[in-house]
Structure 1
Amino acid sequence: MGNQVERKQLKADLMLPWVIVGMMLTMLAAYIIICHTLGEQLQQPLPEAQRVLLRTVFYVIAIVTFPLTNLIRHIQLRLNQTMPCSAATPGNIAKSRYLVTVIISMSLIEVVGIFGLIMFVFGDGFNTLYILTGLSALGLFLYRPKVDEYSEIIEAISAQNHE
């Protein structure tokens, strides 16, 4: 019974990180809606050769962004657990540290969706917009807030305070 109450509290603590994920998803949906409604009015086509080069660069950056975000997130999670802290409540410290981790992860992944919007503005079709927006949505799913990660941070900070 106590474990269920604790798990509900952890989920409640993650409300703000989930709001951030929701805002990021809303922004991705807004990119698609804006491109569908304004369409050709937005587009400032570049010559084909420049567009292909820019698209290739954006795809390479998108491909590199995923493992880089995973590495940065892993480092942040370990730092969240091991950084010294004052004798304040572990929950508040863990909450703020984990929020920063989520914000950075979501921001890095959101950039991939912005690449799709940029390519659409530069004259690419909806296909590139959908691919890059879909990759960004996948990244938001992969790096979403997780109760297990958050609870590990709380446990590590609590253990630190008891030493």
Structure 2
Amino acid sequence: MKIENSELSPHWFVVGIMLLALMVYLFICHQFGHALQDPLPEDRRIFIRSVFYAIAIVVFPITNLIRHIQLRLNQTIPGNKSAKSRYLLTVVVSMMLVEGVGVLGFVMFMLGDDFNTLYIFTGLAVLGLYLYRPKFAEYAQIVDALSDEDEKFRQ
């Protein structure tokens, strides 16, 4: 079965929206940040920041595991959903999980942290968007598995 690159356009649109959201967080913080900040005492911010860093560290392997499971389920679960819609759900879930890391940076900035923390969390989120971007090879595997299943069903 011939697969076109344009089939992944909605998937890349999701990535673009997530990247745009990260840029909006940065814009808001640079334009209105200090007026919107509600600083917490330093010791409470350090504790919250540490918890957020731990969450960010855990999000990446969990996202990888969830994505792996979803990719296998996309290939094996029977049903009449297309490969495109199955893979789109996988991409959306992955993007939402790593976008949450960027939100943690935004929250820390609003709690009184400086731009450095915001940039670290935003950078981690951008890294996640890159790592879990739509990949043609993954999509092709789903298409192949579903077409093999259709052939078995027809016989």
**What is the TM-score normalised by the length of structure 2?**
0.95
- 1:159 and 2:153 correspond: no
User: Counterpart in 1 of 2:110?
Assistant: 121
Cα distance in 2, alignment partners of residues 39 and 46 from structure 1? 15
Which ranges in structure 2 are unaligned for 5 or more consecutive residues? Answer: none
Partner amino acid, structure 1, of 2:25: Y
Task: After TM superposition, give the deviation of residue 101 of structure 1 in Å.
Answer: 0.2
From 21, 42, 58, give the equivalent of 1:27. Answer: 21
Equivalent residues in 2 for 1:115-154, closer than 5 Å = 115-154=104-143
What is the CA-CA distance between 1:39 and the residue it aligns to?
2.1
Which residues in structure 2 correspond to 1:48-127 (within 5 Å)? Answer: 48-86=42-80, 93-127=82-116
Residues 1:13 and 2:7 aligned together: yes
Match of 1:89 in 2: none
CA distance in structure 2 between the partners assigned to 1:39 and 1:84 by the alignment: 49
Task: Give the Cα separation in 1 of the matches to 2:46 and 2:55.
Answer: 14
Q: Please report how far the alpha carbon of residue 132 of structure 1 lies from its aligned counterpart in structure 2 after TM superposition.
A: 0.2
> Structure 1 CA distance, aligned partners of 2:90 and 2:118?
27
The alignment partner of 1:14 has SS state of helix
Counterpart residue identity of residue 60, structure 2: F
How far did 1:30 drift? 0.8
TM-score if structure 1 supplies the norm length? 0.91
What is the root-mean-square deviation of aligned Cα atoms in Å?
1.1
User: Runs of 4+ in structure 1 displaced over 3 angstroms?
Assistant: none
In the TM superposition, what is the alpha-carbon distance from 1:42 to its structure 2 partner? 1.1
Q: Distance in 2 between matches of 1:120 and 1:99?
A: 32
